[in-house]
Structure 1
Amino acid sequence: MFQNLITLLSALFILLLAVGPAADAAEPTAKIHGILINADSMYRDTEKEMAELEGNIQIVFQGQHIKADRARIHLRVRQLELFGNVEIMDSKNTIVGDRIFLDYDNNTGIIHNGYVQSGSVMFTGSLLQKTGDSSYLVNSADYTACTNCPSTWSFSGTTVRAELGGYAYIKNAVLRFGHVPVFWLPYLIVPLKSDRQSGLLTPNFESSEKGGFAISQPYFWAISRSSDATIELKDYSKRGLKSLLEYRYLLSDTSAGNFSTGMIYDEAFAEDPRLNRFRTAEQKNEPLQRWFILYNHYNELPDEGIHRASINLASDLQYPKDFPTETLNHGDSAMENRVSYTRNLSDQHYSIDASYYVNMLHADPLAGNNDAVHRAPELRFSQSQKSIGESNFLYSVDLNLVNFTRAGNAYDDMTETTTSDGAVIRFPKNTCNSPNWEDDPNCERVYDGSYDPATDFIRTGQRMDVRPTLIYPVKLGEGLDLLPKLSYRETHYNFNIDEDPYLVRRYLRTELSGRFNLSRIYGDTVSSKATRYKHEIAPEITYTRLPWFSQDNHPFFGTGNLVDAPYSSRDSVNDLDIGSDFGAQFDYNDRVYDRNLMTFAVVNKITEKRWISDRPEYRQIGYLKLAQSYDATQEGKIAKEPWSDINATLDVRLDSIQTYSIFNYFPYQNVTNSSSRVRLMNNAGQFVQAQLTRQYKITPGQPVNTTNRQEDYTFSAGFVSKYLNLMGKFVYDANFNQVRGDRVKSWAYIAQFKPPGDCMLITFIHDKVSGGDTNLKLNFEFTFDGVQKAPIAPEALDLYGF
């Protein structure tokens, strides 16, 4: 309706002009040749096909809104001349100038003393040529993506050719911070769009004691919509030139992968004392080629299957320490490489995988990997709990087959010695007969070619383990549940040794658990959308017993009496087992746990129900569990310790405070192992966090050496403001009996400056890893497309100072 009225008025206006004199005063509102016009005064010359406008001019044409003090429209050639405070706007761009000549049919023109702005991207110049819908050619121009004035940074150039939504090509580009010139480039290409695009990224700067000063230049390659890569050259003043590659791909919304690699002919590493101690005189100080590979892959397949891959390899064992942010595993005992395929159906699980480990505990950085034990392949099948017919009986089945293999011998030739305090130490046979033989380059491992069941450890073989379970849940009244279980387990071993290579173990396990649940609702119970809290207390008792047990007598399980084995469900395979009478088996599944065990526990939970718009949201804000076990098999021991440690787990997740803590109090040793973290935070992203890790070595029946412990305190904090983000952490070693040097084991802090204009981030990182080098990194991130860079997340601290 409105459009028809405008058309009618425009036709009437044109008709009056046609029958009137050759030049006459016009009405203040009109539509001529599809151009909607409004001005204080309008004059049209029909003979010259020209209209002149003056005062508060408003012109609307093809989605463009034009303002000016004075204008001349040449209808025959379809051109506009605009004068005084000219502004041309469309849905994406704004053009401003003192005088603008516009060919509105071809959308080209010339802007005098003006600028073009798209989002926060702006070009300024004395003469700007509009060469297309979104393309411009500017002489003596300034370019910036900053919203402040004067802009935080800008590029000036003798010529700028720009395509909004594409790229800007700048000749003789001078980077300025404010009004201060910083450096000159003969030619520069910058993106003017938020889409992924290929191009050079800003250089990074780094400095360290071992590597010296380093500068790197990354290049981003937008390969396709689903893949891209970053190619980087980094030049160290002491190490040499390093090439880096990171490739990323997306297979679907839920499937993706990331591959990283790097290579350097390292001159600084050639002088490392740790390396040269194990090299010959001819090899010392000779540079080495170093590299790393880090690959992670996750792919959801159409048949409910999932393919995973995780590869982590390096040229030497020192590499993760020298470049911790590349391999991301500094301090680990091994580098894990794993490939798997899993398929999860509604009640069944199938999987096949292979794991390859690189032993990182050798003193020699170039040590071989023959002693590492790998799992290849490993097959698993699990049948989840399922009803038997129409009865209340449930059953489940677990089946596992695994091959333990390595490149070296099938067993370790071991020897042992007794210390002055009576402790037995077992270690590999070596020419120096020393537990610390690997620290001495003159010592070599000895393989005598004969398996001794009294001392040697079996390290390779095959294991098949099957465990069916029968369950009958019983509900006795409100809140009281009983869960009896009966499971049968049979495990077959085949070892790669000539003496007694076959072993089988069978047993029955009975389990009865009872749980009583008490709960109460707090809060407003009248309003349907009020915030409420549910508090639950659930005491539970679990009794586990092995009524029947059959196991072949074999050195794989050690030489001690099985009754004396200190195995409960909380024990794990650790280094102390090497010196015990029960040896170190393949893993947890080789142990027989909970032979006659009663476990007492009480669980407290607080759940919050709150409403987000019209949708309820549930979250657990508090969790506390206390548990302790009594082992009746300890009754027959001389130094019996039937009561286990008291375990406490606390998890609190509130809006402003979070804590996760695990405490283990050992009543016979009177010490507590602790791992606790507390974080205070606010909605602005500011936080303060403290973390305690205290671990004692616990040997049943023996007092604890309190001086031989790990006790670390980690403090971290983060501050967020408009122009500055600060975050940092340090790890303090509180074991005063052992530390003689620097008590601060590692530290890191990150300072991120956000200058006015939302167009730049300056990130400074200073960190030191445990036992490693101190590194300084400086990175500039410019915004070329008007989209502000996200500030670095607090989780970035986890990459540094570990």
Structure 2
Amino acid sequence: MIKLIFKNHLIQIIIIFFSFFFISTTVFADTSFNTKTNQITWKISALKATHTQEKNLYIAEGDVIITGGKIKLKADYVEFNNSTKDTRASGNVVLISKNDTVSCDLITLNLETQTGTIHNGTIFIQKTNFYIKSNKINKTGKETYIADMASITSCNGENPDWKITGKDIKVTIEGYGFAKHATLWIKKIPSFYTPFLAFPVKTKIQSGFLSPRISNSDRKGLQYEQPLFLALSKKTNATIYIDYMKERGTKLGIEYNYLLGKGTNKSKGTIFYNFLNDSKIDDNTLNTSNYSFSTTPQRTNSERYWFIMKQNTKFADTWNSKIYLDIVSDADYLHEFQKDNIGFNNIKKHFKNNFGTSIDDYDDTIRTNKLNINKKGTNYSLNMGLNWYDNVIARRADTNDHTLQNLPTIKLNMPKQVIKNFRGNFGLYFDFSSEYKYFYRQDTTNSLTNGHRADIYPKIYLPLNFKNFLFEPSLGLRQTFWHGKEFNNSSSNKNEFHHREIYDFQAQISSKISKVFNTNNKFAEKIKHEIIPDIKYTYIPNVNQDDLPLFEFTDNNINKNSFNLLDSIDRINKNNLITWSLVNRFTRKNKKINHGKNKNYIYEEFAWIKISQSFDISKHRANIFEHFSDISLKSEFSPSKFISFNADVKWSPYNKDLVAHDTGITLKNNRNDSIQVTHRYQQNLSESFFTRLNANLTNNLSAFFLYDYDLFNDERIESATGFELEKSCWSLSMGFTEKPDDKSLTFLINFKGF
């Protein structure tokens, strides 16, 4: 059925009248009509249309548009057979289907089967900005094309920055393309040839080769890294890494990301694994000195690997679990492979971005492995876990391993909550913490032992408000139990229970003074200044603990989980301390949006300064001269998005000198150029200087410079420089890095959309 609609009613009547006497019908002016076939209704509009009843053929001219289903065809001239749905279009032809757009001079197409021939045409995939051009393209299906000769690029224009030409090209939208005798052209210069080429042609997440990374260094020689991404499903993907190193061999790696579960039961995880059969070892001879590190032991193994994974699981609204594993073959491995595609830096960044957590540093020879299950209730939290610290050096050397393990750790805590509210502006509060640990070492000594420890620590608070002051006294009682095979003090304590009871008392008084300044300028409409003074007194009695076990103790040179005994439950040191602090906060208020009378504001803290110091009453009574602690100053200052400053400084009131500081400043401008400078210092221990400069030289070209220097030992840690050229359809980056034991040059090019 064909329905004719005419804008000019007079012309409509005349033409209908004459149509009874002629075989064909000719229509002038703006015309549109519908024709229905099977499940699709085709609508045709044009400035002029002619219908031949004998052939059931429509001829449309001038701004012709045919639409049906997900297909839209535009042209200057169209012949449409309503019986066969064969269409011939010419003049500024544009065919838009589901995921691609075809523009050409001439097309013959069956609208039902979507098969035909495209003459002097271009297939454009908008989402990836991908072009396929040829003098003749055969459309063999809804999303399939074949061409004897064609060019491929993601660049706009007639003279693209890069293109790939080839023969016998076959393309499937949302699939892959294949070409024979493919040549890469940089402008008009042929630069690379391959007899066969496969490439992805997709708008969704797709499998395919990622950009290769090429570098050259003293330790590895020429290096070529090629990643292959595999889109396994909507919730899983993997990347295979092939890393060829001329001097070391080929390192293979895999990255696997997954999401599991539905509803409240969900899991998110990532697994990394890479392996290298290294052709170089460190046998402590001159010939292999280039493959060792001064800070690690001799490495004689050639089979090298790193396995690291993390998984977070949510069982229900309140139950969660976390698994983290980190196993490396030797202490040199993460020194060696820091900046590779599947190296330490990228993996650390991945865990930070996807899980919000970091990993052990590359030079840590004790790697953390843990399982944690936790439940968070309204007024409590329960944590259960296994912590295993893998001592890489002890494992590799097959020597005694005294590393302290926690198998398991169980913690039950209750945050501060009210017991009873009294009349007036005060009430009675309490909090509660407890833990159980089993301490295990593979190899023990008289001082490094295994055993159990349980600790219970309730605490009550009585906060009192007096006008602008808050006074809060608190009293805590800690009870600790130990049991183990042997303790370090004497053999008479073997297999015995031990216990300790100790209390602590705190009294804290604080206040808050604030004032709002009306500035009414570009920086702020108003500025709020807060001053928060605080004085805290802490008392813990002196209790003899010499006969108690000391599980959480390791020699400082054994492993990283050595720590200050002041932080250990095994030893609670006496304390008779007064600590004062003064905090200044500055917050600015600016108008964000103005909807008539309703005003929305943005509040931003742009400056924060805290200064504090402690006074030790016990040292003062014992006539110990240095009874005042170092003065600590911490500050953050960001008056605008172009400048930020932070400082952490400790100053000795006795030596009148800096004891330690960590200061840094970052400056930016409207072009997003930036310079970062950091200076770290610890008296008689270390001092270092770090700077990084990023400069956007043009809209497309940026450069960077990095310099890290050890002032204490007077040696360079690392220096690097490089640039990145970013174009609409490709990017190029190159960098040079120099360290005391290695130099490397890295090259990376990315053809976008390919």
TM-score tier after normalising by the smaller chain length? 0.7 to 0.9
Which of these residues, 776, 784, 787, is aligned with residue 745 of structure 2?
Answer: 776
2:180 alignment counterpart? 171
* One-letter identity of the residue aligned with 1:468: P
Q: Partner letter of residue 433 of structure 2? A: D
Residue matched to 1:259: 271
Which runs of 5 or more residues in structure 1 are unaligned? Answer: 412-450, 452-456, 559-571, 697-707, 786-802
User: 1:638 Cα shift?
Assistant: 6.2
Matched residue SS, 2:378: coil
CA gap of 1:505–1:403, structure 2 versus 1, over 3 A, is: same
What is the DSSP-based 3-state SS (H/G/I as helix, E as strand, rest coil) of the residue aligned with 1:540? strand
1:330 aligned residue? 362
Q: Which amino acid aligns with 1:125?
A: S
CA contact (8 A) 1:556 1:583 kept: no
The 3 A distance-change label for structure 1 pair 549 and 609 is same
Letter in 1 for 2:164: F
Alpha-carbon separation, structure 2, partners of 1:300 and 1:628: 43
Q: 1:505–1:551: 8 Å Cα contact kept in structure 2?
A: no
Rate the CA distance shift 1:16–1:127 in 2: closer, same or farther, 3 A.
farther
Residues 644 and 287 of structure 1: CA distance in aligned 2, closer, same or farther (over 3 Å): closer
SS of the residue corresponding to residue 132 of structure 1 reads: coil
Structure 2, unpaired ranges of 5+? 36-41, 293-297, 349-360, 594-598
Match in the other structure for 2:512 = 517
Residue 354 of structure 1 is matched in structure 2 by: 386
1:761 to 715, 718, 731: 731
Secondary structure at the aligned position of 2:364 is classed as: coil
Kindly indicate whether residue 376 of structure 2 is the aligned counterpart of residue 344 of structure 1: yes
Match of 2:630 in 1: 645
Q: Is the 8 A contact 1:504 1:552 kept in 2?
A: no
Q: Aligned residue for 1:656?
A: 642
Secondary structure at 1:321's aligned position in 2?
helix
* Shift in alpha-carbon separation, 1:66–1:222, aligned structure 2, 3 A: closer
Aligned to 1:693: 680
**Residue of structure 2 aligned with 1:554, choices 539, 547, 559:** 547
Q: Distance in 2 between matches of 1:274 and 1:359?
A: 28
Structure 1 position 84, deviation (Å)? 3.5
Q: 1:541 aligns with which of 535, 538, 546?
A: 535
Is contact 1:401-1:465 (8 Å) kept? yes
1:150 alignment partner, SS class: coil
User: Aligned equivalents of 1:268 and 1:686: distance in 2?
Assistant: 42
Q: RMSD over aligned Cα, in angstroms? A: 3.6
Residue matched to 1:375:
406
AA matched with 2:532? A
Q: CA separation in 2, counterparts of 1:275 and 1:401?
A: 52
Larger displacement relative to structure 2 (353-362 or 126-135): 353-362
Equivalent residues of 1:768, 1:775 under 8 A apart: yes
Instruction: Please state whether the residue corresponding to 1:320 is helix, strand or coil.
Output: helix
8 A contact 1:112–1:127 mirrored in 2: yes
Which region of structure 1 is more displaced relative to structure 2, 617-626 or 32-41? Answer: 32-41
| Pairing 1:5-84 to 2, within 5 Å after superposition | 15-16=16-17, 18-23=19-24, 25-32=26-33, 34=35, 42-54=49-61, 56-62=62-68, 64-84=71-91
Q: Quick check: 1:507–1:549 contact (8 Å CA) kept in 2?
A: no
Moved more, 102-111 or 772-781: 772-781
Rounded Cα–Cα distance in structure 1 between residues aligned with 2:282 and 2:365? 24
Change (3 A) 1:314 1:273: farther
Shift of 1:618: 3.8
Q: 1:593 to 1:255 in 2, by over 3 A?
A: farther
d(CA) in 2 for partners of 1:494 and 1:600? 39
Deviations 1:15-36 (A, max 9, x none): 4463132356532333355365
Q: In structure 1, what residue type is equivalent to 2:706?
A: K
Q: Is the 8 A contact 1:267 1:287 kept in 2?
A: no
Decide whether the 8 Å contact of 1:123 with 1:142 is kept in 2: yes
Q: Does structure 1 residue 110 correspond to structure 2 residue 120?
A: no
Distance 1:81 1:286, change over 3 A: same
- How far does residue 318 in structure 1 lie from its aligned partner after superposition? 1.4
How does 1:48-447 map onto structure 2 within 5 Å? 48-54=55-61, 56-62=62-68, 64-89=71-96, 93-119=100-126, 120-251=129-260, 255-270=267-282, 288-325=302-339, 326-327=343-344, 329-332=361-364, 334-359=366-391, 366=397, 368=399, 370-391=401-422, 392-409=427-444, 411=445
Name the counterpart of 1:589: 569
- 1:628–1:53 distance in 2 versus 1, CA, 3 Å: same
- SS of the aligned residue for 1:550 comes to coil
**1:620 aligned residue (579, 582, 605):** 605
Aligned partners of 1:212 and 1:68: how far apart in 2?
Answer: 58
Q: Which moved more, 1:337-346 or 1:15-24?
A: 15-24
What is the SS of the residue equivalent to 1:224?
A: coil
What is the Cα deviation at residue 88 of structure 1?
Answer: 3.2
What residue identity is the alignment partner of 1:732?
A: Y
The one-character-per-residue Cα deviations of 1:200-248 (angstroms, maximum 9, x if unpaired) are 3333323221222122332222222111111122221111122111111
Aligned with 1:388: secondary structure? strand
Q: Aligned partners of 1:65 and 1:354: how far apart in 2?
A: 61
1:492 Cα deviation after fit = 2.7
1:532, CA displacement in angstroms?
3.6
Q: CA deviation at 1:514?
A: 0.5
Write the deviation string for residues 363-397 of structure 1: whole angstroms up to 9, x where unpaired: x9746461222222111111111222444111111
Change (3 A) 1:75 1:343: closer
TM-score, scaled relative to structure 1: 0.78
Contact kept in structure 2, 1:594 and 1:631, CA below 8 Å = no
Measure, in 1, the Cα distance between the counterparts of 2:118 and 2:88: 10
CA distance, structure 2, for counterparts of residue 777 and residue 260 of structure 1: 23
Higher-RCO chain (CA-CA 8 Å, sequence separation at least 6): 1
Could you tell me how far 1:745 is from its partner in structure 2?
0.8
Q: Counterpart of 2:724?
A: 752
Question: After superposition, what is the alpha-carbon deviation per residue over 1:60-105, rounded to whole angstroms, capped at 9, x for unaligned?
Answer: 3326554444443444433232333333345754322222222233
- Residues in 1 aligned to 2:168 and 2:503: alpha-carbon distance in whole angstroms: 85
Contact 1:358 1:369 in 2 (8 A): no
Query: Structure 1 pair 403/190, CA: closer, same or farther in 2 (3 Å)?
Result: same
Find the aligned partners of 1:488 and 1:525 in 2 and give their Cα distance. 53
Could you say which structure has the higher strand fraction? Answer: 2
Deviations 1:708-748 (A, max 9, x none): 4211011012234532233342211222xx43xxx221234
Report how far residue 126 of structure 1 moved: 1.0
* Mapped partners of 1:129, 1:583: distance in 2: 72
In structure 2, give the amino acid aligned to 1:393. L
Size of the aligned set, in residue pairs, is 692
- For residues 516 and 285 of structure 1, the distance between their equivalents in structure 2, rounded to whole angstroms, comes to 59
> What amino acid does structure 1 have at the position aligned with 2:643?
I
1:322–1:773 contact (8 Å) kept in structure 2: no
Secondary structure in 2 aligned to 1:779? strand
Q: CA 1:162/1:763 → structure 2, altered by over 3 Å: closer, same or farther?
A: same
Shift of the 76–247 alpha-carbon distance from structure 1 to 2, 3 Å rule, reads closer
CA distance, structure 2, for counterparts of residue 374 and residue 763 of structure 1: 45
User: Cα–Cα, structure 1 residues 126 and 583, in superposed 2: closer, same or farther, change >3 Å?
Assistant: closer
**Matched residues in 2 for 1:166 and 1:285: separation?**
47
Q: Judge conservation of contact 1:243–1:262 (CA < 8 Å) in 2.
A: yes
Structure 1 window deviating more from structure 2 (63-72 vs 644-653): it is 63-72
**Among candidates 686, 689, 695, match of residue 719 of structure 1:** 695
Distance 1:459 1:775 in 2: 46
Is contact 2:326-2:367 (8 Å) kept?
Answer: yes
